[in-house]
Amino acid sequence: MSGIAATLDILTRLIAFDTTSRNSNLELIAWVEDFLRERGIASRRVSNADGTKANLYASIGPDVAGGVVLSGHTDVVPVDGQPWASDPWTLSERGGRFYGRGVADMKSFLALALAHVDAARAAPLKRPMVLAFSYDEEIGCLGAPAMIAELAAQSNKPAAVIVGEPTSMKVVSAHKGVRTFTVEVTGREGHSSLPDQGVSAVMEALKLMALVAEMGNEARGETHAHFNPPGPTMTIGKVEGGTASNILARRCSFIWDCRCPEQAQADVIEARFRGAATQLDAEIKVRAPEGGVSVMRRTNTPGLAIERESAAETLARALTGDNETRAVAYAAEAGLFQRAGIPAIICGPGSIEQAHQPDEWIERTQIEEGAAFMRRLIERLSA
């Protein structure tokens, strides 16, 4: 079982699992476990604390060091409110494109890896091909760290990781890191005609939101050789607060993210924001001792730094013939592998421009390129 037909058959099954990050991914994981078990391949789950989600990894080939990890996440973003022309959970083909939630980001890569398990089993592999499927990547790369820690601790440690995010099968050498923060502002309710007798949490939160916008504007002047946008970016993704137009809001919360090419930049930005939040907290407490500001860092995904001579770079460039240096503004799990001491790059089928969109699609030619990539990898591992 290999090739385009097998890939599409597996992709059809993977797309049918609604693994939106708010849901469990265990049905998909169980299906993959059965798929591997039928082929005599043992796999290991690395579950979350309450057992509702799991990573899964498995090794095909000899139990030796120097294997290559094919890494991908099983979760997808929501389809809520998006105008899909077809069922997002049913793979459909129109005009040489395949449609469905996750076809680009990134179940096609998972399907390609699984579709080539039989070819890997039949090949005289000298080094193993390792599958590593994670959960909750889309909400901050929350699932993968526990699995990566196990892979990095093995005596027969892998030599390289290929993270199959959609890159149109081009080699991506770096990605930004991302930190996300939840900010809670508590004030004191009162009548809106007497604003000095209470504290509007919304009005106070606006001061911190304005700082996020200000720092983002300041960063627009920065340059970087490979990233676009070149410098740090900051956005506020969610705001909640208030009860009515004539009530001073007791509570306001917002979530913001910071994406930086370098960790030091993120440290400076975070410190500046926390300093402002601490000052505002003190100012609120003078007027309302029960009020204040809290800042919680939700996620901290490290960036992937360029390592042109790493085993992952060397391998990916040999398999693709691509020698251009690229960096992407989105975060991925590659930086987590690199931080754990396993070199990584990003290379996968489809385009990030189709990810998260209604009618998400991938070209058939990208599936074909991905299959050729997998065949070359198996040949390389057998050499």
* CATH numbers and ranges of domains, the chain: 3-174+303-382 (3.40.630.10), 177-301 (3.30.70.360)
Task: Give the pLDDT confidence score for residue 1 in this predicted structure.
Answer: 52
Nearest alpha-carbon partner for 346 in 103, 167, 113: 167
Phi-psi region of 141 (alpha: psi -120 to 50; beta: other; left: phi over 0): left
Q: What is the pLDDT of residues 153-175, one digit of tens each?
A: 999 999 999 999 999 999 999 99
Q: What is the pLDDT of residues 286-314, one digit of tens each?
A: 999 999 999 999 999 999 999 999 999 99
Task: For residues 122-140, give the mean pLDDT.
Answer: 97
365-374 CB burial, b ≥16 within 10 A, e <16: ebbebbbebb
Task: Give the pLDDT confidence score for residue 3 in this predicted structure.
Answer: 79
Tell whether the model's pLDDT for residue 254 goes beyond 90: yes
State residue 56 phi and psi, 5-degree precision. -145, 135
Q: Which residues contact 353 (CB under 8 A, 6 or more apart)?
A: none
Q: What is the pLDDT of residues 1-57, one digit of tens each?
A: 567 999 999 999 999 999 999 999 999 999 999 999 999 999 999 999 999 999 999
**Confidence label for 380 from pLDDT (cuts 50, 70 and 90):** very high
* 149 alpha carbon, distance to own chain's centre: 17
Task: For residues 49-74, give the mean pLDDT.
Answer: 98
What share of the chain has pLDDT > 70, as a percent?
99
Beta strands in 242-357 (DSSP E): 251-260, 292-301, 327-328, 344-346
Side chain identity at 85, as an amino acid letter?
Answer: A
- Which residues are designated catalytic? 75, 137
Task: Give the pLDDT confidence score for residue 205 in this predicted structure.
Answer: 98
Of 11-15, 224-228, 325-329, 333-337, the one with minimum mean pLDDT is: 224-228
Q: Are 288 and 248 in contact (CB under 8 A)?
A: no
C-alpha to C-alpha distance for 56 and 30, rounded to whole angstroms:
10
Task: Give the pLDDT confidence score for residue 18 in this predicted structure.
Answer: 98
What share of the chain has pLDDT > 90, as a percent?
97
Dihedral sign from CA coordinates of 308, 312, 318, 321: negative
Tell whether the model's pLDDT for residue 102 goes beyond 70: yes
Q: What value, to the nearest 5°, has the Cα angle with vertex 139 and ends 135 and 145?
A: 50
pTM: 0.91
